[in-house]
Structure 1
Amino acid sequence: MTGTVAAVAIGRNEGERLIRSLTTLTDQLDRVVYVDSGSSDGSVQAARDLGIEVVELDSAQPFTAARARNAGFAALKKSGLPDFVQFVDGDCGVEPGWIAAALAEFGKQEGLGIVTGWRLEIHPDASIYNALADFEWHRPAGEILACGGDMMVRSDVFDAVGGFNPTVIAAEDDEFCTRVRKAGHRIIRLPLPMTRHDAAMTRFSQWWQRAVRSGHGFAQVGDLHPDYFVQERRRVMLYGFFLPAMVLTALLVGFYLVLITALALYGLSYLRTAQGLQREGLERSMALRQSVFLSLSKFPNLIGMARYHLRKWRGSAMRIIEYK
């Protein structure tokens, strides 16, 4: 398919990762806009040194990835909107040939609103946290419900649905994709590497904060679209709230049968998770390791969900939760 393509990259204090990301874009495209969310590491000047248009977000409003992507799209629109926009996070490098492959897919199938591919971790063996992220991104190809923030979008579809919701601080890509699907457009994941991501997670605290952010997304997007993240919210409430409450109550009143039952349910959930990971291709020892964190994640997820509802109740701004 023929058509014009431009890119929007977003970031905050990404350092060398940003330079790598922007270079992989300029190797494939003539038009690239970088949107910066209050970096203090020289990212803005580094982008300008590469000859890239830079949009600096006003710090008077809360920074969100959704707001940044919208600002990049608006900047492209001012100088002549392309037919398609490739969005990419500043810690991701775009694979050679991806832009052409995604554009070609739009020409092959009717009704496509978004085309995405596989996001791969650069250093999946650097830590268990990077390995978790790498496996999380490698989802089955084909028609899908939603994808991450690295995606190629039809510009007219983006305009028609109103872009990203700038108040959504996590899972904003899921929320956007949900509206795209509800507007009658399809989303396809190609079985091709699209971007290489540098999670750079080496500490438990980083993983924990990332899981808190995910929980916030479950709650906020679930609030906007009650039919989405249903299973995720149920699992968090069961394993992060109700079963711990059962354990605590059993300990206080000495009802040890309830305690044993609750612990058995945790054990069963852990084993089922490990078996599921093995069926999806992980070798046994890695599946057992990752299952520990997937089981534990329900607790920071619960904190994130509670944080969203507290913010909503107070009428507070939805501010980003950073893990790097």
Structure 2
Amino acid sequence: MHFAIDGTWERTGPVVVAGSPLKIFRLTAPGARIAEQIERGADVDSSTLIDRLVDAGAIHPESHPGATSVFTVDDVTVITPQLGGIASTDGRVVVDDSSTPPIAGATIRLDNNSGPGAARNAGRPLATTALLAFVDADVDLLGDVGIGSWLMPLLPHFNDPSVALIAPRVAGEPGSPLDLGDKPGRIRAGTRLGYVPAAAIVVRADAFDAVGGFDPALRFGEDVDFVWRLDQAGWRCRYEPASAVWHEPRSNWPDRLHQQVGYGSAAAPLALRHPNALAPMHTNGWAVGSWLSALAGHPGVAAVTVAASVAALAHKLPNVSTAWSLRTALNSHLRGLQQLSVVLRRVWWPPLVLLTFFSKRMRLVAFGAVALDVAATPTDVAYGWGVWSGMIRHRTWRPLRPKFVSWPRRSVAR
């Protein structure tokens, strides 16, 4: 099988540092030979090392045109939850979520509007195939007829019996929260790919049944909760951008902002269900120390903190070049700044706005956070409004808590 190395991959002899979050692998001699084969793009057999590298997000199974699969498109049932509009005639199961007027041609109609999660669950008993594809009504399969060729890059992943879910890229307007980019990866809370939208996903039916499907109590965030429960149950979930579909963006700004408020409202119930999985930012103490020092008006202390972080990382990784340690540490601080700006715009803006009335420095901080991404600010603020509304409603502050992580963890792999 072919594997692609992650963009974080750095190998020096028997030491590999890669994955999300970063992890150190100290390889035996046979393990180092396998790593060399992966780097050359050669076929490698399944092994404990391969499983560990895949699970850590250090390497990714490659989907290519010649890949074969134990499943075909005939093994997939497409289920679409829908509220209003016109039912598709391509053979999918259309679940009318109590539309007014009813959707003509829908496969099944719910008596009460219950939300997309419940609607998807209602379509499950109508499928007898091994795989289920959940595709929202506003997703365009880009001209495919019937189930279509968008599935072809996804199906080979299910050759691995531990894989429960594969998600294609959901392209759309620039900056869409549904578009997770062009890099494949494992989906897990607290990593580069912490979630995928259920706008288009393919799920193993047995895995769907094992975790009880979507939580019907969640109107928003039901897809995030579903993926996290699959991962926590030991299943693998993957993102494969070699397949892409199109999501039609909201046609006007009021609708877009209302959508973001809804997304934000899911943060509180998700934080209550998954207390260790949801955090507005994941960073390490070095990055926090450097930027807090800078914000407090002590650039010298910030510079010393950055230098100390480089020394600490170099000490922890004696087999890795100093240049790599420097580059990795600096990237960590830059990512910390980027995360901080996003969090200030999306989650922490209410107290930040209050502080701007009393502090010139906080006004500069607020200006900087907006300046780093002016275009995203309106939707970020709307998302934050939803977060705070949800926190007040559910009486929890958990969505505000950041999560601090350490430098790369060590692992011995054979």
TM-score > 0.5 by shorter chain: yes
Separation in 1, partners of 2:347, 2:240: 34
Sequence identity, in percent? 20
Say yes or no: does 1:72 pair with 2:123.
Answer: yes
Secondary structure of 1:226's counterpart equals coil
Say yes or no: does 1:120 pair with 2:191.
Answer: no
Deviations 1:158-199 (A, max 9, x none): 011111001111121111000000001111111223322112
CA contact (8 A) 2:169 2:179 kept: no
For 2:370, the equivalent position in structure 1 comes to 270
CA contact (8 A) 1:37 1:57 kept: yes
Matches within 5 A, 1:87-106: 87-95=134-142, 96-106=148-158
Two-structure CA RMSD over aligned residues (Å): 2.5
The alpha-carbon deviation at position 238 of structure 1 amounts to 5.6
Secondary structure of 1:168's counterpart equals coil
Say yes or no: does 1:247 pair with 2:356.
Answer: yes
Separation in 2, partners of 1:135, 1:58: 29
Secondary structure of 2:241's counterpart equals strand
For 1:38, the equivalent position in structure 2 comes to 98
Matches within 5 A, 1:280-291: 291=373
TM-score, scaled to structure 1: 0.70
CA contact (8 A) 2:134 2:202 kept: yes
Matches within 5 A, 1:305-320: 305-312=387-394
Say yes or no: does 1:173 pair with 2:282.
Answer: no
Unmatched runs of 5 consecutive residues or more in structure 2: 1-68, 143-147, 189-194, 282-341, 396-414
Secondary structure of 2:381's counterpart equals helix
Separation in 2, partners of 1:112, 1:138: 21
**Aligned residue identity for 1:39:** S
The alpha-carbon deviation at position 74 of structure 1 amounts to 2.5
Say yes or no: does 1:2 pair with 2:62.
Answer: no
Separation in 2, partners of 1:307, 1:113: 33
**Structure with bigger gyration radius:** 2
**Aligned residue identity for 2:204:** R
Q: 1:75 to 1:309 in 2, by over 3 A?
A: farther
Secondary structure of 2:154's counterpart equals helix
The alpha-carbon deviation at position 242 of structure 1 amounts to 1.4
For 2:386, the equivalent position in structure 1 comes to 304
Say yes or no: does 1:203 pair with 2:252.
Answer: yes
For 1:14, the equivalent position in structure 2 comes to 85
Deviations 1:90-117 (A, max 9, x none): 111225412233222211x341110111
Say yes or no: does 1:215 pair with 2:264.
Answer: yes
CA contact (8 A) 2:346 2:381 kept: no
Deviations 1:255-310 (A, max 9, x none): xxx1x211211222234xx4xxxxxxxxxxxxxxxx22423334322331233244
For 2:213, the equivalent position in structure 1 comes to 163
Deviations 1:38-63 (A, max 9, x none): 22366x21x35xxxxx111122xx52
How many residues in Structure 1 have an aligned counterpart in Structure 2?
252
Query: Residue 110 of structure 2: which of 54, 57, 61 is its match?
Result: 57
**Aligned residue identity for 1:306:** W
For 2:240, the equivalent position in structure 1 comes to 190
Secondary structure of 1:138's counterpart equals coil
Separation in 2, partners of 1:244, 1:224: 29
Separation in 2, partners of 1:91, 1:188: 22
